[in-house]
């Protein structure tokens, strides 16, 4: 079978199971498994694939059609301009979260000592620290496996010297901390909605990275109550939120004393981030 025929066949297979960007995915798989870059794939479309190449590719497609996302097949992902290791213990960073970084840059918020709660792969902090070279970040997660991967990613992206890694349940283990901005993309899906998520999310992102409790708002309430107790003044707090949660999170922020609350839309024009100040 020629490369062109193979691509067509696989594109059809992936489309049938509802994968929209099937061609892009196939091109990525061909690059990862056979080392063929885009140019080679386009200009060598008549090459005949060898059996051992087909076997290598089939092993990937077998997993993909069962719903495993490419990030979890290859244990890698990308966020803005950084490469990241991911595994079954980590949430695969989403392009949706990139807006959170853009907001911090555009709003001209002073970024020096960051506290990031629920860091997963470390994507948000690492990305920020690449931009703010003199800043530091304390990153936390309840999952020690995620913290291990976040540290590996920090080493991979040369930000490890700017970071501290703490396994902790939100703000529970902190007494005195030096930070001047808090960011978080916490779990925000209602528990009852988890079972209806796409297979690639519900079966491949850790449940605790998704489950936001009965109303999806558990983490926001917990974090903001603790922030109120800490009593830091003029602390910017920036959260990613579900597209339909802006009003509710705004209320939780207000009831915990936050002011100057602003909601930001993502690039699909959905309200996906909220910023407030203690
Ligand atoms: C939606 S994921 C976001 C991960 C990462 N910040 C990102 O944007 O790619 C939420 C993260 O919160 C972590 N988490 C869940 N419950 C937590 C808790 N009680 N304390 C700290 N982190 C928690 C999860 O392990 C997961 O890594």
Ligand 1 atom showing the smallest separation from residue 146 Cα: 27
Asked whether the predicted pLDDT for residue 119 surpasses 90, the reply is: yes
Give the confidence band of 231 by pLDDT, cuts at 50, 70, 90.
Answer: confident
CATH, residue 253? 3.40.50.150
- Let me know whether 122 and 25 are in one domain: no
DSSP H or E run through 209: helix 207-210
How many domains, the chain? Answer: 2
Ligand 1 centroid–CA 258 distance in Å is: 22
Provide the residue range defining the domain that includes 139: 74-277
Residue 20: pLDDT band with limits 50, 70, 90: confident
Is 173 near ligand 1, meaning CB less than 6 Å away? no
Confidence bin at 17 (pLDDT 50/70/90): confident
Backbone angles phi, psi at 82, to 5 degrees: -120, 150
| CB 84 within 8 Å of CB 147 | no
Q: Distance, CA 122 to ligand 1 centroid (Å)?
A: 10
Which of 21, 47, 66 terminates a domain? The answer is: 66
Instruction: Mark whether 109 and 246 lie in a shared domain.
Output: yes
- Percent pLDDT > 70 in the chain is 100
Same domain, 215 and 266: yes
Instruction: Answer whether 186 contacts ligand 1 (Cβ < 6 A).
Output: yes
Q: Which residues of 48-69 are buried (b: 16+ CB within 10 A; e: fewer)?
A: ebeeebeeebeebbeebeebbb
| Boundary residue ending a domain (22, 50, 66) | 66
| Residue 88 shares a structural domain with residue 152 | yes
Q: Which of 46-50, 107-111, 164-168 has the lowest mean pLDDT?
A: 107-111
Where residue 139 falls among pLDDT bands split at 50, 70, 90? very high
Instruction: Answer whether 212 contacts ligand 1 (Cβ < 6 A).
Output: no
Domain co-membership, 46 together with 84: no
pLDDT for 175: 73
**Ligand 1 centroid vs 124 CA: distance in angstroms?**
11
């Amino acid at each position: 079978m020629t490369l062109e025929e193979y691509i067509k066949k696989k594109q059809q297979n992936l489309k049938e199971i509802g994968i929209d960007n099937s061609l892009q995915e196939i091109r990525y798989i061909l690059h990862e498994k056979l080392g063929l870059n885009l140019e080679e794939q386009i200009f060598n479309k008549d090459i005949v694939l060898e059996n051992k190449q087909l076997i290598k590719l089939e092993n990937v497609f077998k997993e993909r059609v069962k719903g495993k996302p490419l990030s979890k097949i290859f244990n890698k992902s990308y966020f803005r301009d950084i490469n990241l290791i991911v595994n079954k213990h980590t949430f695969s960073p989403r392009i949706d979260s990139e807006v959170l970084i853009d907001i911090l840059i555009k709003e001209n918020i002073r970024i020096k000592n960051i506290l990031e709660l629920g860091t997963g792969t470390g994507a948000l902090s690492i990305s920020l620290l690449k931009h703010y070279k003199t800043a530091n970040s304390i990153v936390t997660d309840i999952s020690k496996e995620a913290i291990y991967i976040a540290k590996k990613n920090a080493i991979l992206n040369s930000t490890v010297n700017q970071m501290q890694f703490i396994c902790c349940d939100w703000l529970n283990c902190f007494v005195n901390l030096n930070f001047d901005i808090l960011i978080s993309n916490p779990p925000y899906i209602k528990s009852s909605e988890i079972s209806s998520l796409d297979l690639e999310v519900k079966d491949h992102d850790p449940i605790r990275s998704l489950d936001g409790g009965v109303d999806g708002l558990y983490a926001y309430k917990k974090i903001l109550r603790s922030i109120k107790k800490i009593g830091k003044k003029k602390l910017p707090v920036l959260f990613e939120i579900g597209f339909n949660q802006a009003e509710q999170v705004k209320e939780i922020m207000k009831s915990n004393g936050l002011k100057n609350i602003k909601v930001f839309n993502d690039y699909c024009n959905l309200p996906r981030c909220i910023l407030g100040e203690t």
